[in-house]
Amino acid sequence: MHGTSRVREEGARLLATIVRAVGADGAAYGWTDALGPDLLVPVVRVAPPGARWDGSQPCTLTVPVDEEGPLKWALMIRGIHPASVDRAATWIASATDWFAGVHDRDVPAPHPGVDDGTSARFIALLGGLRSVDFKIGCASEVPSYRAAFAREIPSLPQSARPAALAAVDAVTEPERLGPALLRLGVELDVAGALAEAVSVHGVAYELALRLGDPVGGMDAARWAGRGYRKLTDWSAAFHWYGLARRIAELEGDRARQARVLDGEGNTHRHRGVFPAARRSYESAWELALASGDAATISSIAHSMMTIEREAGEHASAARYAWTALELSEDREGRANLLLNIGTLLREAGALESAVAAYDLAGTMTAAPEIRMMAADALAYCAAVGGDRDYDRLHARARHAARGASAYLRAQMGYFRGAALQALGRGRDASRVLRAVERYAASAQLHQWQVKAAELAESPLPQPVPTDAPVELRQGLSALRRELARVPEAVG
């Protein structure tokens, strides 16, 4: 159970205690479905009150945990010696309340960004794969099993549905299922369905462990850490990043070690702990250079640019920015990089070049989070330039922000306050910034809490107009030419 959710780990320990106490062969806990009660967990629903012998499963006790919800849950103990029946029934009675209180926590609530309603049942179906060791015992059951998944696919964000179909197609082949789950989790993360994404990556991680696939385990754990970071669940983020880092260290995979340290640095930075973020980034930078992997070097250069920009070291940040831009080949990663380059240019006073960077970022990818941030940044630039059309531009970005992570909500609120200040609307700005301060405090986003409080007391200085570094202007021109050659790539 190493690396699964805390609830599962606690449940595993409790089941082990029950098994030892009654001399059973094993115990299981999970949900049953009218499609086939032995499809996911071989339990048979038993009417209350309490446990009894199950005639179809010799030497087995079962007890229902939740008969009321959409998913039917049961606890089962197998291989009990007849002399231990009474003692086993007592143990089950004491354990039922615990399980009844925790099963919903093992399937995170859907993120508000899901566009067609709840996808909790799809995630529960994936979770059920754990109970049968990611295999389906009877070939005749495969069509109904896939049909159950297929019925739930419309509940997922539209952009993630092709990846979900691929996962369903691979559901009986663990070697294919692992990469398919990882792709599905990534698509859910990009779509903003973060609770679903971390759930899928948790399943992918467990599958990788069972298959002895360290690369799959590292990638799934790192993406789970990223999802929890965006959900501002810091302890879970560090837990998953830690799992990924330990595997990478054991494997001697410097590129993946660097990417995990980068994620840990981002987590520290989002919390507002900048010294720890810089230490993580600098360690990641050394590993990235040692790995020689261009994509990893680009990714860590991006982070080094960000931490240098936050420190006001614009020249150093620009050098890292050019390195990242030159080596980046991933379209979404490049778009995200351009957002940060735009901020660097804006803070350095090159407002026209900043607008060009933000505009490129928003048009070169279909990722909703990046489009939203680009739209918000363009609105802010309009306000800094004195454009009274700011409110319309911001309303467009705010509409796109439905389902955004807490971090991005706080960031957008902060820059709305700054924009209102730039437009001379001090009272509105103060009201917005105080709300951001309270929201950031509740989400433990200390960076934005402090920044909002400081901005409320002292408006941002207006940047002195300047020319963008020639290297960055050349990079932006090259990107424009690339997009002109490949118009179908524009989201």
Q: What is the DSSP string of 237-270?
A: HHHHHHHHHHHHHHHT-HHHHHHHHHHHHHHHHH
Which residues does 399 contact at the CB level (< 8 Å), separation at least 6? none
In a domain, 440, yes or no: no
Q: How confident is the model at residue 35 (pLDDT cuts 50, 70, 90)?
A: very low
Whether 99 and 168 map to the same domain: the answer is no
In a domain, 160, yes or no: yes
- DSSP type of residue 105: G
Task: Determine contact, residues 183/163, Cβ cutoff 8 Å.
Answer: yes
264-273, 278-287, 369-378, 454-463: which range is least confident on average? 454-463
Q: How confident is the model at residue 408 (pLDDT cuts 50, 70, 90)?
A: confident
Strands 72-78 and 26-32: antiparallel
In a domain, 302, yes or no: no
Q: What is the pLDDT of residue 348?
A: 79
Whether 86 and 162 map to the same domain: the answer is no
Q: How far apart are CA 127 and CA 171, in angstroms?
A: 12
Whether 123 and 246 map to the same domain: the answer is yes
- Cα dihedral 328, 330, 336, 340 in deg (nearest 10): 0
Q: What is the DSSP string of 322-373?
A: HHHHHH---HHHHHHHHHHHHHHHHHTT-HHHHHHHHHHHHHS---HHHHHH
Q: How confident is the model at residue 395 (pLDDT cuts 50, 70, 90)?
A: confident
Which residues does 95 contact at the CB level (< 8 Å), separation at least 6? 14, 18, 75
- Which one, of 208, 223, 225, 290, lies nearest residue 255 by Cα? 290
How far from the centroid of its chain's Cα atoms is residue 429's Cα?
Answer: 31
Whether 77 and 113 map to the same domain: the answer is no
Considering 192, 227, 252, which residue would you say is the last residue of a domain? 252
Q: How far apart are CA 281 and CA 413, in angstroms?
A: 27
- DSSP type of residue 41: S
In a domain, 205, yes or no: yes
Task: Determine contact, residues 168/150, Cβ cutoff 8 Å.
Answer: yes
More confident residue, 84 or 369: 369
Which residues does 151 contact at the CB level (< 8 Å), separation at least 6? none
What's the mean pLDDT in 463-485? 63
Q: What is the pLDDT of residue 237?
A: 92
Q: What is the pLDDT of residue 205?
A: 87
Q: How far apart are CA 63 and CA 459, in angstroms?
A: 63
What's the mean pLDDT in 273-287? 94
Q: Give the chain's domain count.
A: 2
Whether 248 and 120 map to the same domain: the answer is yes
Whether 158 and 87 map to the same domain: the answer is no
374, pLDDT greater than 60: yes
- Condensed to tens digits (0 to 9), the pLDDT of residues 182-204 reads 999 999 988 888 888 988 898 88
Residue whose tokens read 């389902």: 403
Considering 233, 252, 271, which residue would you say is the last residue of a domain? 252
Which residues does 449 contact at the CB level (< 8 Å), separation at least 6? 272, 437, 440, 441
Half-sphere exposure (Cβ direction) of 170: Cα atoms closer than 13 Å: 19
Task: Determine contact, residues 116/124, Cβ cutoff 8 Å.
Answer: no
Which residues does 83 contact at the CB level (< 8 Å), separation at least 6? none
- Condensed to tens digits (0 to 9), the pLDDT of residues 58-82 reads 556 666 665 554 445 666 666 666 5
Whether 76 and 199 map to the same domain: the answer is no
Q: How confident is the model at residue 308 (pLDDT cuts 50, 70, 90)?
A: very high
In a domain, 414, yes or no: no
More confident residue, 446 or 111: 446
More confident residue, 383 or 392: 383
Whether 49 and 162 map to the same domain: the answer is no
Whether 14 and 71 map to the same domain: the answer is yes
236, pLDDT greater than 50: yes
More confident residue, 264 or 247: 264
28 beta partners: 76
Whether 238 and 116 map to the same domain: the answer is yes
In a domain, 166, yes or no: yes
Q: How far apart are CA 269 and CA 277, in angstroms?
A: 5
In a domain, 370, yes or no: no
What's the mean pLDDT in 110-132? 56
Considering 55, 85, 106, which residue would you say is the last residue of a domain? 106
The range of the structural domain enclosing residue 201 comes to 109-252
405, pLDDT greater than 90: no
Which residues does 429 contact at the CB level (< 8 Å), separation at least 6? 417, 418, 420, 421, 456, 459
- Which one, of 164, 476, 434, lies nearest residue 321 by Cα? 476
Candidate ranges 127-136, 215-224, 352-361, 395-404; pick with highest mean pLDDT: 215-224
For the record, the structure tokens of 425 come out as 């609307």
What CATH number has the domain bearing residue 167?
Answer: 1.25.40.10
Q: How confident is the model at residue 43 (pLDDT cuts 50, 70, 90)?
A: very low
Whether 247 and 116 map to the same domain: the answer is yes
Averaged confidence pLDDT in the chain: 75
In a domain, 191, yes or no: yes
Task: Determine contact, residues 3/221, Cβ cutoff 8 Å.
Answer: yes
Q: Which residues of 124-134 are buried (b: 16+ CB within 10 A; e: fewer)?
A: bbbbbbbbbeb
Q: How confident is the model at residue 114 (pLDDT cuts 50, 70, 90)?
A: very low
377, pLDDT greater than 80: yes
pTM of this prediction? 0.67
Instruction: Please give the single-letter amino acid code of residue 466.
Output: T
Q: How far apart are CA 430 and CA 441, in angstroms?
A: 17
474, pLDDT greater than 90: no
Q: Which three-class secondary structure state does DSSP give residue 76?
A: strand
Whether 21 and 92 map to the same domain: the answer is yes
The percentage of the chain sitting over the pLDDT mark of 70, rounded to a whole number, equals: 63
